[in-house]
Chains A and B, each alone.
Chain A
């Protein structure tokens, strides 16, 4: 099956699955309520805050190569190592080689979408290196043999009952449906991983040019343990993660937390400037940062798409998207789901395979309206559609349909003819596609008959 066929099949299944819809609706309703409150209580003016954030990101993009070099210089001066990777394969190969060089048999990982993007777990496992996901949501999807359902909430689609069964089967834990007990099972299970792993792997939420620092945002403490206990710490970061100044965090940390989870600031924010220094009693002996391109610099060269590199991966556009809410995170079969994923995936993973995602949008603009860095996401989906039609002549059926549409819309009488035709065939539609019936009379007819009592 091709990717578009997979998408159609999976999304049709999920859209008709009412249990799935209820689960997602419940999770996102909880999110919406708390995010709405935090925007009001924390910010004087949310709109101004996100405009400022977009300006800082635009400044960053205008100086991207210089800021990356500044980061490299400062981070290297503090004893860290920087590796630039053009592709995911180059990044994964570097990490596997590093692990082998240190005789690492076990790696502990905190949540990182960038490592998902380069399929690092698969590469490490092929070289017989164990990978322990330590974020609770990531652990759940890893044990279930699935991909993350959501870039911020990987196990959003799992009920506590399902997780109870999973932990019982995979970790031989006593069966429970209590969220606290389940969390404690994960806590006990992972202690050993932090203590005995030869390498800790994390992503980065921000790279700070002036401080030469990597910033990791989290709530559980798993990322802190991952970069404190093992002797080697490796960070995989997209080149767009850079911001100019340490002081910029006083806006970006609250902004990311508010849009991501509705918190004012997440529980733990770590600012790491290289490996353990002289006089420090612990921390890794080596720290490596992999600056990953993987299609980003090509997007950067396209002026219209450059703004997508402002993205801080908060997940707000997924939660707001009526398509994501209906078809769920797995139908996309991509690392990044929802509107942001539909914009970037074709550029990172192959335009031919993933261009259909540009059509997985109602163009309602909900994504753009919630974006904390003001990315015009839905117009970028239109840009992807335009690129797709430049590359491939549209299918015959599509051309015909567009012709009929143009014909029908160009005269009122023709539009009315179409209305009557559609009204006639509507009862033949299958139940799940049934929409409200076309009205018997047109608006014009009702207006003339003065049915509005004007």
Chain B
């Protein structure tokens, strides 16, 4: 049906290669990267890296402490408006919100059918994550677990809540563990708040995505992730 397909593939197949049977070279992050953290102090390494990228990092003991951190962050952006933050529907997020009545009244669980226009009213979002990458300070999340694609990119403040057990050393490890994650259509590797240097190489935060990114990592999470 698509003749172009046949013609392109035919040209590509017409070439014979001398070493085409060799296997693809394997990548081992620990052998390539000078700043590979090994298996030690993964959460500290993640946090230090995120802060160096102008993200915010909080390490807390339990869901109660996480809830008060979230409240502080939201109180800063939302003073009096009752609906400030959209929340992903997720076990860990529910556990945090349940700790703090103020969060109940100031957050809205993400509804399945929220139109693009309505997103603009929210100043913040609260999501879970799949992995925290210690080497690069990255947060990995997917469109199933993070409540879709828009939640973590449209509102100007993105708060991520994760368990310390979700920290891994490097991207290599996250990719290896991905088979345990429900398949989703979209996955994001987020490394710091949105930025641009398109004007005279001057760094500006909050180009189109969130101006602020805060990660709250819970040491003892009751939720089994």
A, B in one complex: yes
User: Which residues 218-255 of A have a CB within 8 angstroms of B?
Assistant: 219-222, 224-225, 227-229, 239, 244-251, 253-254
B147 in the interface (beta carbon within 8 A): yes
Q: Is the CB of A268 within 8 A of B136?
A: no
CA distance A452 to B14 in the complex (A): 61
Q: List the A side residues contacting B22 at CB < 8 Å.
A: 59, 62
B35 in the interface (beta carbon within 8 A): yes
10 closest pairs, A vs B, by CB? A221-B209, A220-B207, A228-B149, A84-B5, A137-B198, A250-B171, A65-B12, A221-B208, A297-B11, A179-B202
User: Which residues 33-72 of A have a CB within 8 angstroms of B?
Assistant: 40-44, 48-49, 52, 55-56, 59, 62-65, 68-69
Could you tell me which B residues sit within 8 Å of A by CB distance? 2, 4-5, 7-9, 11-15, 17, 19-20, 22-25, 27, 29, 31-35, 110-114, 116-117, 119-120, 136, 138, 143-144, 147-150, 153-154, 170-172, 175-176, 178, 183-202, 204, 206-210
Could you tell me which A residues sit within 8 Å of B by CB distance? 26-27, 30-31, 40-44, 48-49, 52, 55-56, 59, 62-65, 68-69, 78, 83-86, 90, 134-137, 140, 153-155, 158-160, 163, 179-180, 182-184, 186-187, 190-191, 194-196, 219-222, 224-225, 227-229, 239, 244-251, 253-254, 261, 264-277, 279-283, 291, 293, 297-298, 300-301, 303, 306
Q: Is the CB of A136 within 8 A of B175?
A: no
Q: List the B side residues contacting A194 at CB < 8 Å.
A: 116
- Which one of B11, B170, B176, B199 lies within 8 Å of A179 (CB-CB)? B199
Q: List the A side residues contacting B210 at CB < 8 Å.
A: 221
- Which one of A31, A56, A282, A300 lies within 8 Å of B12 (CB-CB)? A300
Q: Is the CB of A52 within 8 A of B189?
A: no
- Which one of A136, A224, A301 lies within 8 Å of B196 (CB-CB)? A136
The residue in chain B whose Cβ has the minimal distance to the Cβ of A190 is: B208
Q: B164 to chain A: closest CB distance in Å?
A: 22
CA distance A137 to B192 in the complex (A): 20
Q: Is the CB of B207 within 8 A of A65?
A: no
- Which one of A160, A228, A266, A272 lies within 8 Å of B150 (CB-CB)? A228
Q: Is the CB of B200 within 8 A of A271?
A: no
Q: Is the CB of B14 within 8 A of A301?
A: yes
Other than the given A41-B35, A265-B138, A283-B143, 6 more pairs (CB < 8 A) read A26-B201, A48-B32, A154-B198, A183-B206, A224-B188, A247-B175
Q: Which of B25, B192, B206 has the most chain A CB atoms closer than 10 A to its own CB?
A: B25
Query: With A250-B27, A281-B113 known to touch, is A222 a contact of B208 (CB < 8 Å)?
Result: yes
CA distance A334 to B119 in the complex (A): 40
Q: Is the CB of A267 within 8 A of B195?
A: yes
- Which one of A220, A221, A254, A277 lies within 8 Å of B185 (CB-CB)? A277
Q: A64 to chain B: closest CB distance in Å?
A: 5
Q: Is the CB of A280 within 8 A of B189?
A: no
Q: Is the CB of B209 within 8 A of A265?
A: no
Q: List the A side residues contacting B116 at CB < 8 Å.
A: 194-196, 229
Q: Is the CB of B197 within 8 A of A301?
A: no
Query: With A183-B204, A187-B208, A283-B149 known to touch, is A253 a contact of B189 (CB < 8 Å)?
Result: yes
